[in-house]
Amino acid sequence: MARGSALWNVMTEAARKAARALRRDFGEVEQLQVSNKGPSDFVSAADIKAEKTLRAELQKARPRFGFLMEETGEIAGEDGKHRWIIDPIDGTTNFLHGIPHFAISIGLEMEGEIIAGVVYNPIVEEMFYAEKGQGAFLNDHRLRVSARTKMTEAVIATGIPFHGRPGHEPFLKQLGRVMNEVAGVRRMGTASLDLAYVAAGRCEGFWETGLQPWDIAAGILLVREAGGFVTDFKGGQDVLHGGNVVAANPKLHKQLLDLVTKG
């Protein structure tokens, strides 16, 4: 069983350690909303500090593994096979605005394949964990994707391309098609948690374009280990580096993929 495995210990401990400081920093951010300068610099510093803690903890446990991190970029490892893919604060805009919906995301890649993942929301203390072939978990519970089979009953998560990034026009078309068919669409602001919510059966599906590997590495494995499908916009399995993601329970994946891609 994955919970209690050596990797589970290493990854969840690293996440918990970084989370302690993030929780304190998040408290400060709430105060800084009303200051003239705003919390931007403070949040950048919190992001970098969390990444350093994660790196130090993971390196202590697995000294030969490499890293791909949102803030620092790529650091090659001696073993050449394994690397940690890390987002210290996924959902930075939420964090910056004092919205308690963000996560630490850690994926472990072995020879190009994600073999373990953690997504941790430190505010509500939800630790999502998956290990290849061993299932997906939320704290103590095993996860399964939802069993809903009707689009009209589905809640679908998505992400709107940020200001200044391309893709607003196609996104609005995708949104128009999806929202016509489903019970509700959510833009929650943290892609790793969107995927974790699909794994937990809270949402039936999720789609977004232009994501980075650190936003999705852990979440992809969570959905697959919970019995869901994750593909790119052509239905292909190699999602990590393309950045376009459609994830859903097996009954609704094809329908969501068609809605998103067939204009």
Catalytic residues: 70, 87, 89-90, 92, 215
Contact call for residue 121 and ligand IPD (CB under 6 A)? no
The residue assigned the tokens 């989370």 is: 19
User: How many degrees, rounded to 5, is the angle at CA 89 between CA 145 and CA 98?
Assistant: 100
Using the contact rule CB under 6 A, the part of the chain among 58-66, 87-95, 130-138, 144-152 near ligand IPD is: 87-95
* Cβ distance to ligand IPD smaller for residue 100 or 227: 100
Give residue number: closest CB to ligand IPD: 159
* Cβ distance to ligand IPD smaller for residue 191 or 198: 191
Q: Site map for ligand IPD, 152-171, x if CB under 6 A? A: -------x------------
Q: Give the residue, chosen from 18, 65, 68, 91, that forms a contact with ligand IPD under the rule CB under 6 A.
A: 91
Nearest one of 169, 173, 191 to 240, comparing CA atoms = 191
Contact call for residue 51 and ligand IPD (CB under 6 A)? no
* Cβ distance to ligand IPD smaller for residue 25 or 70: 70
Pairwise CA distance, residues 58 & 84, whole Å: 8
* Cβ distance to ligand IPD smaller for residue 53 or 190: 190
Q: Give the residue, chosen from 18, 43, 68, 92, that forms a contact with ligand IPD under the rule CB under 6 A.
A: 92
What are the two backbone dihedrals, phi and then psi, of residue 249, each rounded to the nearest 5 degrees? -70, 160
Burial of 156 (0-12, 13-18, 19+ CB in 10 A): buried
Q: Site map for ligand IPD, 242-261, x if CB under 6 A? A: --------------------
Contact call for residue 174 and ligand IPD (CB under 6 A)? no
Q: Which amino acid is residue 101, in one-letter code? A: H
Least distance from C-beta 231 to ligand IPD, angstroms? 18
- Which string of b and e fits 225-257 if b means at least 16 CB within 10 Å? bbbbbbbbbeeeeebbebebbbbbbebbbebbb
Q: Give the residue, chosen from 69, 116, 211, 252, that forms a contact with ligand IPD under the rule CB under 6 A.
A: 211
* Cβ distance to ligand IPD smaller for residue 209 or 249: 209
Q: What residues make contact with ligand IPD under the rule CB under 6 A? A: 70, 87, 90-92, 159, 189-191, 208, 211, 215
